[in-house]
Structure 1
Amino acid sequence: MRASAVTLAAGLFAASAVSAENYLGFNSGATLPDNSAKFEKDFEAEFRTAQNLVNAPGTFNAVRLYTNIQAYSEGAPIEAFQAAMKTNTKILLGVWASGVQNIDKELAALKTAVNTYGKKFTDLVIGISIGSEDLYRISQTGLINDPEGVGAGPDVIVKFIGDFKKAFANTALSSIPVGHVDTWDVWANGTNKPVIDAVDFLGFDTYPYYENGKGNSIDNAPNLFDRAYKATEAAAGGKPIWVTETGWPATGPNWDLAVPSVPNAKQYWDEIGCAKLFNKVPTFWYNLRDSNPANKMQFAITKNLSTTPLFDLTCPKVVPSSTSSAATPSQTSSGATSPSGSGSNSNTGSGSGSSSGTPTGGSNTGSGSATQGSGTPIPTGAAAGVGRISGAVYGALAVVAGGFALL
């Protein structure tokens, strides 16, 4: 994109983002890289690092969670809630929906938190996602990538959305937007329209890195991102889109034309994050900390939760020319601007789910699920991609085999 076009786009984004707060945050799973449970101090360390990143283009004071249940507990509320209250971190709640017959334990844990912490907690909740990539896991691509992966169909997700709304109808959470997070190509699949009809916002996961066979070099990443976003936007029917996972690994093996490196992670940050997302649409970057030891690709932008990142987070005043087909802003119903544009798309496992996806599983994320003390799967952390643990592996850990979880 020429410098003049970048300037114009920036002005349009600023002019139209008038009525919705555009959150900045990261994803956070329930466990550490050794699969041990995260506790309050672990979440607090993450949240404080996120809020104090050197040269960040804004304050990363939001977090996306995957479950309300503390890892390996019998159903206690996740201790991320306490850490969020201590650090004033906003929360996109997650209700785990894959491989379960109901979400009763998730709802019970959240009700306990609401009753225990009250307004101090509920004032931090910005949204609720019922499920995470569940539709991807039962899609043709998801089953090719992981034949034993366990997800949930649109009818199940819609039912769970109804269950949540009924359970919290008379609480402080009744006015909080309820959504679902999935890969971009799932949203574009007409069979999943009942979920779009049922949600207040769409959570959008995409990783151009994994768009093998689609020209997935770092220089073409903006085109791949734009195509995925535009397809989701077309399916959304005007409903807001929150970017819930995207990023580029700093280390790991090459994936077709995609090369993990710190310079490439910086380029993706600049051309996707800075040019299209940050302070324009609600964005949860993947990621602050890597949590899946089996994932060969490492997406963390910091090492050991240092506030000095692996690369300079400063957004350039002029975006490099490789964003030649960068998105132009359009208005969503929430008032936040949304990127749209041309490009070639694709697939992929993580974040996109299309026919040429990664060999091990759903879009995102690597980590599968261990079990709670009660036998309920624990959404653990992980990055999207090759090193992801398949449902078969986690079947050995979980009573509900094949459950996936993102970081």
Structure 2
Amino acid sequence: MSCLAASAQAYWKGFNLPATLPSGACKSVNDWKKDFAVVKGLPGKFNAVRLYAASDCNTLANAVPAAKASGVKVLVGVWTEDDGHFNAEKQALLAAVKKYGHDWIVSVSVGSEDLYRKDTSAEVLANKINDVRGMLWSVGAGKVQVGHVDTWTAWVDPKNKAAIKACDFVGTDGYPYFQDAARKDSYNVFWQSIEATRSVVNSVKPGTWVWITETGWPVRGPTRGKAIPSVAGAAAYWKSVACSAFSQAHTFWYILQDYHESPSFGVVDQNFKPLYDLKC
């Protein structure tokens, strides 16, 4: 379990955030402060965010001081593609921990959907997870949980057991939209994916927590099978899936704000106003 609180009912609850502005420019400390103020101002008492990188766009150098000022905690992402990039990511995390300590960290995800993309093997990924864990131990941050985020389809693949064994936590991404499911069926489709992941993870490494690190329903974009993007559909998915997830797992919704993407999963518009009711 995370170090959030003694209560079994206390979970990390937040959003995935990009490191760039709509213009493509990297976010400054003040930009991050604005993001975190928006997160904390939304109904629901959100307390965390998930970031995808450590060094790219000076993510941690700019986001950590903003997070500490706001009281928002960070699920840190460390990209693993190519050794040069991986080393830069590790050094950015190391620098942030040396400068700010580690009480701002929710956990660290080494990689994101690497197994789904078949960018690496589970064994190589496991070594990188252990590498980052060892680095954190070396600077007194050994209590920080280190794991990996991937699609639920990757986690249930028997070839990826080595990655599960290396994880302190497993972050899983599941989108009924990308499974071409009708909105009315999305609740069951989503929770079936979570239960399938939990079952495999528990069989490989009993007691390992499965976190929900990405899910959402698009407000606009192409129709996929029976899955039709709409604001009404996204609102209904939030009421059914988000409101159930927040009460039983550490959950990071995808995504706070989309810019020009299609499909777009953003829950706030370009002025940071909610697109639909976020109350549970």
Q: Structure 1 length as normaliser, TM-score?
A: 0.64
Q: CA deviation at 1:305?
A: 4.4
Q: Deviations over 1:226-261 (max 9, x none)?
A: 221111011111310110000001112222211111
1:39 equivalent among 22, 25, 28: 28
The 8 Å contact of residues 45 and 305 in structure 1, kept in 2 or not, is answered as no
Q: CA deviation at 1:21?
A: 3.3
Q: Could you say which residue in structure 1 is the equivalent of 2:169?
A: 201
The 8 Å contact of residues 161 and 178 in structure 1, kept in 2 or not, is answered as yes
2:112 equivalent among 123, 132, 136: 132
* Distance in 2 of aligned mates of 1:20 and 1:158: 30
Q: CA deviation at 1:84?
A: 0.5
* Distance in 2 of aligned mates of 1:19 and 1:173: 23
* Distance in 1 of aligned mates of 2:253 and 2:166: 25
Q: Give structure 2 stretches of 5+ with no counterpart.
A: 1-5
* Distance in 1 of aligned mates of 2:182 and 2:52: 30
Distance change >3 Å, CA 101–CA 170, structure 1 → 2: closer
Matched, 1:259 2:228: yes
Q: CA deviation at 1:106?
A: 1.3
Q: Could you say which residue in structure 2 is the equivalent of 1:228?
A: 193
1:159 equivalent among 127, 139, 156: 127
Aligned with 1:48: secondary structure?
A: helix
Higher RCO by CA contacts (8 Å cutoff, separation 6 or greater)? 1
The 8 Å contact of residues 147 and 167 in structure 2, kept in 1 or not, is answered as yes
Aligned residues: 271
Distance change >3 Å, CA 158–CA 105, structure 1 → 2: same
Q: CA deviation at 1:166?
A: 1.8
Moved over 6 A (4+): none
Q: What aligned pairs does 1:356-395 form with structure 2 within 5 A after superposition?
A: none
Residue 193 of structure 2 aligns with an amino acid whose one-letter code is A
2:213 equivalent among 224, 235, 244: 244
Q: Give structure 1 stretches of 5+ with no counterpart.
A: 1-16, 139-150, 316-407
Q: Could you say which residue in structure 1 is the equivalent of 2:3?
A: none
Distance change >3 Å, CA 224–CA 163, structure 1 → 2: same
Matched, 1:269 2:245: no
Q: What aligned pairs does 1:8-407 form with structure 2 within 5 A after superposition?
A: 18-19=7-8, 21-53=10-42, 56=43, 58-71=44-57, 77-100=60-83, 103-118=86-101, 122-138=102-118, 151-212=119-180, 216-237=181-202, 238-274=207-243, 276-291=244-259, 293=260, 295-306=261-272, 308-315=273-280
Aligned with 1:156: secondary structure?
A: helix
Distance change >3 Å, CA 179–CA 109, structure 1 → 2: same
The 8 Å contact of residues 289 and 305 in structure 1, kept in 2 or not, is answered as no
The 8 Å contact of residues 132 and 182 in structure 1, kept in 2 or not, is answered as yes
Q: CA deviation at 1:279?
A: 3.0
Aligned with 1:225: secondary structure?
A: helix
* Distance in 1 of aligned mates of 2:60 and 2:67: 13
Aligned CA RMSD, in angstroms, stands at 1.8
Residue 182 of structure 1 aligns with an amino acid whose one-letter code is D
Q: CA deviation at 1:77?
A: 4.1
Distance change >3 Å, CA 110–CA 217, structure 1 → 2: same
Residue 87 of structure 1 aligns with an amino acid whose one-letter code is S
Structure (1 or 2) with the larger CA radius of gyration: 1
* Distance in 2 of aligned mates of 1:289 and 1:297: 12
* Distance in 2 of aligned mates of 1:20 and 1:313: 20
Distance change >3 Å, CA 277–CA 305, structure 1 → 2: farther
Percent of aligned positions that are identical: 37
The 8 Å contact of residues 79 and 85 in structure 2, kept in 1 or not, is answered as no
